[in-house]
C-alpha cells in the first residue's frame, strides 16, 4: 500500500481533513471478535429489495440502500424499533476503539464521520482530550488545542433526534447556507482523506454527493482509502471519472502507514 505523498504532507502541515466511515467500526468489531454487518447486509435485513429490471432495460449495478431499508423497517415497526435494531447491530456495543481510531484523534483535531457509534469519542477521551460532538446542521467546528471535535454527519445513536436514517430524514436535514459555505471553504483549503469507506456502498456515495453539492462541482484533492478488500473495475473507474484518487487500505493499515511516515 502506497500512501499518497500529498496526504502525508497535508497532515504534516495541518491542512488535511478526515471523513471517517463505518468500515472503521467494522474493523474494530472484527478485532474485538464481534459481528458487524456490511452495508448490503444491513440494507437487506432492514427490508430493502432489489428493484425489478424493466423489460428491455440494461442491467446496471444497484447499490443496496440502507436508507431505503430503514424506511421499510420504520413503516412496519416504528421509529423506536428501528433505532433499537440499529443500536444492537451497529452501535459499537462491546467494541473497543481500534488503533485507527486512536491515530485519527491524535492527528486530526476535527473529524467528520458518517458512523453513528461513539468509538471516536472513546478514543479521544482515553487520550486525555476534551471531546465536543457536533451533529449534521451544526456550525462547522474550528480546531482548538487539546480538543477533539467530532462532526457526526448522519447523527449519533446517543442522540436519536439527530439520526439521518432514511432518504426523508436526509431531505429534512438539508445543510443550510452557512454550513454549506463553511464546508466549501474547508474543502477548498484542505486535502480530503476518506478513511473507513467503500465506494460501492450507499454510505460513501451519499456523503460524496452531499459534499459535491456543497462544493458546486468536482471535489479537488480527494483521496479514498478503500476498506476491506478490492472493488470491481466498474466501481473503480466510475469514481476515477468523478475525480477521486483511490488506494486500497483498511483503516488501521492506512493510519499505521501515516503515523510511520510522519515519524520517520
Helix, strand, coil share (%) of the chain residues, nearest 5: 45, 15, 40
Bridge-partner residues for 247, per DSSP? Answer: 225
**How far apart are alpha carbons 76 and 46 in whole angstroms?**
10
- List pLDDT tens digits, range 124-133: 999 999 999 9
Residues 6+ apart with CB under 8 A from 44: 64, 69
**How far apart are alpha carbons 236 and 179 in whole angstroms?**
30
- The pLDDT, as a whole number, for residue 24 is 97
**How far apart are alpha carbons 63 and 135 in whole angstroms?**
26
Each of the 264 residues of the chain gets a pLDDT tens digit; together they read 789 999 999 999 999 999 999 999 999 999 999 999 999 999 999 999 887 755 655 544 568 999 999 999 999 999 999 999 999 999 877 899 999 999 999 999 999 999 999 999 999 999 999 999 999 999 999 999 999 999 999 999 999 999 999 999 999 999 999 999 999 999 999 999 999 999 999 999 999 999 999 999 889 989 999 998 778 888 889 899 999 999 999 999 999 999 999 987
DSSP string, 86-99: HHHHHS-TT----H
- The pLDDT, as a whole number, for residue 8 is 96
- The pLDDT, as a whole number, for residue 62 is 67
How many Cβ atoms are within 10 Å of 37's Cβ, its own excluded? 17
- List pLDDT tens digits, range 48-96: 988 775 565 554 456 899 999 999 999 999 999 999 999 999 987 789 9
- Which DSSP symbol is given to 199? T
- The pLDDT, as a whole number, for residue 230 is 76
In CATH terms, the fold of domain 5-34+97-262 is Rossmann fold (3.40.50)
Of 164, 161, 168, 79, the C-alpha closest to 115 is 164
Three-class DSSP category at 226: strand
User: Which cell numbers in the block locate residue 224?
Assistant: 479514498
**How far apart are alpha carbons 224 and 198 in whole angstroms?**
8
How many Cβ atoms are within 10 Å of 140's Cβ, its own excluded? 18
User: Which cell numbers in the block locate residue 50?
Assistant: 432489489
CB-based burial label for 60 (10 Å; 0-12, 13-18, 19+):
exposed
Amino acid at each position: 500500500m502506497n500512501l499518497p505523498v500529498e496526504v502525508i504532507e497535508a497532515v504534516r502541515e495541518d491542512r488535511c481533513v478526515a471523513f471517517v466511515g463505518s468500515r472503521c467500526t467494522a474493523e474494530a468489531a472484527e478485532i474485538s471478535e464481534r459481528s458487524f454487518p456490511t452495508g448490503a447486509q444491513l440494507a437487506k435485513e432492514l427490508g430493502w429489495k432489489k428493484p425489478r429490471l424493466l423489460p428491455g432495460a440494461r442491467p446496471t449495478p444497484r447499490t443496496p440502500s440502507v436508507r431505503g431499508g430503514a424506511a421499510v423497517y420504520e413503516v412496519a415497526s416504528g421509529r423506536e424499533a428501528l433505532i433499537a435494531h440499529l443500536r444492537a447491530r451497529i452501535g459499537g456495543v462491546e467494541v473497543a476503539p481500534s488503533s485507527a481510531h486512536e491515530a485519527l484523534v491524535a492527528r486530526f483535531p476535527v473529524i467528520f464521520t458518517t458512523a453513528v457509534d461513539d468509538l471516536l469519542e472513546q478514543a479521544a477521551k482515553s487520550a486525555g482530550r476534551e471531546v465536543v460532538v457536533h451533529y449534521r446542521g451544526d456550525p462547522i467546528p474550528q480546531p482548538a488545542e487539546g480538543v477533539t471535535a467530532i462532526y457526526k454527519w448522519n447523527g449519533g445513536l446517543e442522540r436519536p433526534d439527530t439520526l439521518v436514517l432514511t432518504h426523508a430524514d436526509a431531505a429534512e436535514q438539508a445543510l443550510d447556507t452557512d454550513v454549506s459555505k463553511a464546508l466549501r471553504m474547508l474543502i477548498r483549503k484542505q486535502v480530503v482523506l476518506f478513511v473507513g469507506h467503500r465506494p460501492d456502498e450507499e454510505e460513501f456515495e451519499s456523503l460524496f454527493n452531499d459534499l459535491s453539492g456543497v462544493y458546486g462541482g468536482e471535489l479537488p484533492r480527494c483521496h479514498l482509502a478503500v476498506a476491506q478488500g478490492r472493488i470491481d473495475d466498474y466501481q473503480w473507474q466510475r469514481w476515477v471519472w468523478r475525480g477521486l484518487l483511490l488506494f486500497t487500505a483498511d483503516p488501521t493499515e492506512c493510519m499505521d502507514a501515516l503515523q510511520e511516515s510522519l515519524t520517520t
